[in-house]
Chains A and B, each alone.
Chain A
Amino acid sequence: MDMKKGRGRFIFFCLAPAVLLFAIFLLIPTIDVFRMSLYKWGGYTDNKTFVGLQNFNRLFHSDKFYQTFQNSVLLIVLVTIVTFALALLFASMLTREKLKGQNVLRVIFYIPNILSVVVISAIFSAIYDPNSGLLNSLLKLFRGLQAEPVLWLGDQKMVIFSLAGAMIWQAIGYYMVMYMASMANIPESLYESAGLEGAGRMAQFFQITIPLIWTNIRTTLTFFIISTINMSFLFVMTMTSGGPDGATEVFLSYMYKEAYTNSSYGYGMAIGVIVFLFSFALAGILNAVTRREHLEF
């Protein structure tokens, strides 16, 4: 009996610091965001007025908010699907195939991940430049020298896809390394026996690789949501400032603008609450949809 109590106390004291830190630095600030969303506040004074759910009411009647929401969802879907597919493909190729310069390729794919967003934005701003950019220079080879330049960051219908291109380029290496780590654990014998039984590369990929790294895939899907929401804000701030005319505004950049530039801190926090609930719900849905029997080797 004493032994059990002693173990309980030991566990309690081991966990207490972590729980305390979690509460102070994560739980309380999160609750504070919810609390502040109920106030009208400029952000720098004690001049706070309790307005209840008024901020949320305004939010749900704002076309601007729906536009930013639409942009954010588009980026989450697009960046997740393309990055996921390419990262899996590259990881599988680098793990399963015997390519020349494999290690060099691994490093090259991972480099974008260690560059800061500001550097990547500068690189892509140069690539997308209408007059001297790499993309338009390449296009001139096919479209002729006199062709009108494509406005990658100036065309309101195209700019969000241009932004997605930079985000995908930045993210592929990170997820590729994660998938490679779990693929490396799959025993070679499984592939050998599958090969002997006549399974081709594609069948092996879908029947062996994917099911056996499924737990890893599920985890990364949650990462995709969180990182796309965070990274889209950074890319927007450094590449387009939300323009032209708000065409690349995502909900975190809108939140930032309202909380600071428009002196509406409480309203900004209301956007924060919606983002929090949305990302939480989306991660939950993805988790539920992708649940399946756990396979082991």
Chain B
Amino acid sequence: MKKILSLAITAALTLSLAACGSSSENGSNSTKDSTGTNSATSTEQRTLKLAALETAYGADVWKEITAAFESANPGVKVETTIDKNIEDVIGPGMKSGEFPDVIHLATGQPKGLTETFVKDNNLTDLSDVLSMTIPGESVTVKDKLIPGFTDTTITNPYNDGKTYLMPMFYSPTGLFYNEGLFEQKGWKVPTTWDEMWALGDQAKAEGISLFAYPTSGYFDSFFYALLNEVGSADFFTKVTHYNEGIWQTPEAQQTVELIGKLATYTEKTVPANANKDNFTKNQQLILDNKALFMPNGTWVVGEMSKAPRAEGFKWGFTALPAIKDGGDRYSYTFFEQIWIPAKAENADLAKQFIAYLYSDEAAAIFAKVGAIQPIKGMSDKLDGDNMLFYSIYDNGAKAAMGAFATTDPVEGVNISDAVFASIDSLVTGAKTQQQWVEGIIKASDALRGALK
């Protein structure tokens, strides 16, 4: 009897465990089935899952947008997940097969989630969104977008003529400074690198450093703009596509020397605070008149809005100085992206939602919080600091866009570390310019064969 009892208990335990395992499988299947049926048949109630990174523009703007989309599309409900750490919030769910329908998350984030989806060919082709008519309007998305934004290595990562990431909010980047200080001192904002070095020596005599940067990662926009200045778009393309021998050219030599020299003009305390928790201390150097210029984007104004500042402080913004007098000056255009995972269950609805985001109604909601989209004529409607920033291209600066080309993942090789993180070592003196270039060449060699 005892034997039978113990056998029964053991069998019950085993069965319950097996049931646990299979029930979770059944659960996921049933979820898939039910949603599959939903997406196929229901015109009454459809749910769109949106995941968005909460940036300096705040979370409320997305709530306003989704409410407007819902009222324009009866029967559609938007389930939003907005978080400052959106990668951590949606990552575990995606590992178990639960994908949002649309994700607003730019490349360059701490966990590189967008890059991982790009490298894994795990995105929905959004080329047809460009020819969609914007809901409630008579123009297509393509007609409304500023040309060039959907022809970059970021939006079209596979070089196959197709757009996989749509551009959302853009921001010109360049050098930020205290215009009030320049007025007080009677200094002129340098237009060439020679003038820049002369100003650096003049400022040094007064105990002010020429340059500071929040973290070395901020050199991305600086570096891409500089590549265009030094060797035009062709040189930029070759460097960002890891061309063999490109780092032995005179243009590359000039790039290395310029950044190397800038490192010697950089405030020495910068590398100590150049991390994600203390970078605002480096930005504070500009507000305290301890450094003259820093590379940044327009979001810095909001980010430092409550920080103390020197008397008469006024934000100034300029493109990179030209290589020689009268030469081209560049300002890199940073933009965020929105995309649809390949396994999204409601890709069609997600595409409609993306098309709606370029409507006048949506653009006006975004603009209220300073989130400016690459829509034609948008910059004419701006005022205050934003007008100054976005008019940089009207004042002679050329726009640079794109980034290092997408590759398959190469274990242990990270081009951002090789190019940008190493700039800390140039400032501290731990690496020479030669060692810096050798590191870039090594990484480029490793990535060349893995190009998408």
Assuming the contacts A44-B95, A245-B430, asked whether A154 and B273 have C-beta atoms less than 8 A apart, the reply is: yes
Query: How far in angstroms is the closest Cβ of chain B from A105?
Result: 31
In the assembled complex, B261 has its CB within 8 A of some CB on chain A: no
- The minimal Cβ–Cβ distance linking B231 to chain A, given in whole angstroms, is 26
* Contact among A45, A62, A154 with B272 in the assembled complex (CB-CB below 8 Å): A154
Which residues of chain B have C-beta atoms less than 8 A from A238's C-beta? Answer: 277
* Complex-state Cα separation, A257 to B277, whole angstroms: 17
Q: Is the CB of B424 within 8 A of A149?
A: no
Within 8 A of A (CB), among B416-431: 417, 421-425, 427-428, 430-431
Known: A125-B277, A267-B412. A43 touches B116 (CB 8 A): yes
Complex alpha-carbon distance, A129 and B270, angstroms: 11
Which residue of chain B lies nearest to A57 when distances are taken between CB atoms in the complex? B411
Q: How far is the CB of B148 from chain A (nearest CB, A)?
A: 27
CB of A44 within 8 A of CB of B411, answer: no
Known contacts being A47-B122, A55-B411, A263-B120, is A244 close to B428, with CB within 8 Å? yes
From A16, A131, A262, A264, contact of B269 by CB (8 A): A131
CB proximity to A under 8 Å, residues B83-120: 87, 91, 94-95, 110-113, 115-117, 119-120
A143 at the interface (CB under 8 A from B): no
> Does B116 lie within 8 Å of A263, measured CB to CB?
yes
Q: How large is the interface on A (under 10, 10 to 19, 20 to 34, 35 or more residues)?
A: 35 or more
A59 near B120 with CB under 8 A, answer no
Indicate if A140 sits at the interface (CB-CB under 8 A): no
Q: Which of B215, B278, B281, B414: most chain A Cβ within 10 A?
A: B278
Specify which of A43, A59, A65, A245 lies most central, judged by the most chain B CB atoms within 10 Å of its CB: A245
Q: How long is the Cα–Cα vector from A247 to B91 in the complex, in angstroms?
A: 29
Task: Answer whether residue B276 sits at the interface, using C-beta atoms and an 8 A cutoff.
Answer: yes
Contact present for A125 and B278 (CB under 8 Å): yes
- Chain B residue nearest in CB terms to A58: B411
Q: Are A240 and B409 in contact (CB under 8 A)?
A: no
Chain A residues within an 8 Å CB radius of B427: 244
Are B421 and A246 in touch, CB under 8 angstroms?
yes
Choice from B111, B117, B342 contacting A260 with Cβ under 8 Å: B111
A90 CB-CB contact with B under 8 Å: no
Bound CA–CA A155/B427 (angstroms): 10
**Is residue B216 within 8 Å, beta carbon to beta carbon, of the partner chain?**
yes
**B281 nearest CB across to chain A (Å):** 7
A-side contacts of B6, CB under 8 Å:
9
B117 and chain A: residue at smallest CB distance = A44
CB-contacts of B345-399 with A (<8 A): none
Measured as residues with beta carbon below 8 angstroms from the partner, the interface class of chain B is: 35 or more
A24-64 near B? 1/0 per residue, CB < 8 Å: 00000000000000001011110100000001001100101
Report the nearest B residue to A240, measured CB to CB: B275
B321 within 8 A of A: no
Contact of B409 among A62, A153, A257, A262 (CB under 8 A): A262
Determine if A211 is an interface residue (Cβ-Cβ < 8 Å). Answer: no
A interface secondary structure, majority: loop
Q: B277 to A264, Cβ gap below 8 A?
A: no
Residue contact B412 to A151, C-beta cutoff 8 Å: no
List of A residues within 8 angstroms of B417 by Cβ: 246
Q: Does A206 contact B (CB under 8 A)?
A: no
Asked whether, in the complex, the Cβ of B122 is within 8 Å of the Cβ of A151, the reply is: no
The answer for the CA separation of A149 and B268 in the assembled complex, in Å, is 9
Bound-state Cα–Cα, A241 to B269, Å: 16
Interface residues of A (CB under 8 A from B): 6, 9, 13, 16, 20, 40, 42-45, 47, 55, 58-59, 62, 64-65, 121-122, 125, 128-131, 148-149, 151-156, 238-241, 243-247, 257-258, 260-264, 266-267
Q: Which residues of B contact A (CB under 8 A)?
A: 2, 6, 9, 13, 17, 87, 91, 94-95, 110-113, 115-117, 119-122, 215-216, 268-278, 281, 342-343, 409-414, 417, 421-425, 427-428, 430-431
A-B contact pairs, 22 of them (CB 8 A): A16-B13, A20-B17, A42-B117, A42-B120, A43-B116, A45-B342, A47-B121, A47-B122, A55-B411, A125-B277, A129-B273, A130-B273, A155-B428, A244-B216, A245-B271, A245-B430, A246-B421, A258-B411, A260-B112, A262-B409, A264-B412, A267-B411
19 further A-B pairs in the complex, CB-CB below 8 A; given A47-B120, A55-B411:
A9-B2, A13-B9, A40-B411, A42-B117, A42-B119, A44-B91, A44-B117, A45-B120, A47-B121, A47-B122, A149-B269, A151-B271, A241-B275, A243-B421, A244-B271, A245-B422, A260-B87, A261-B110, A267-B412
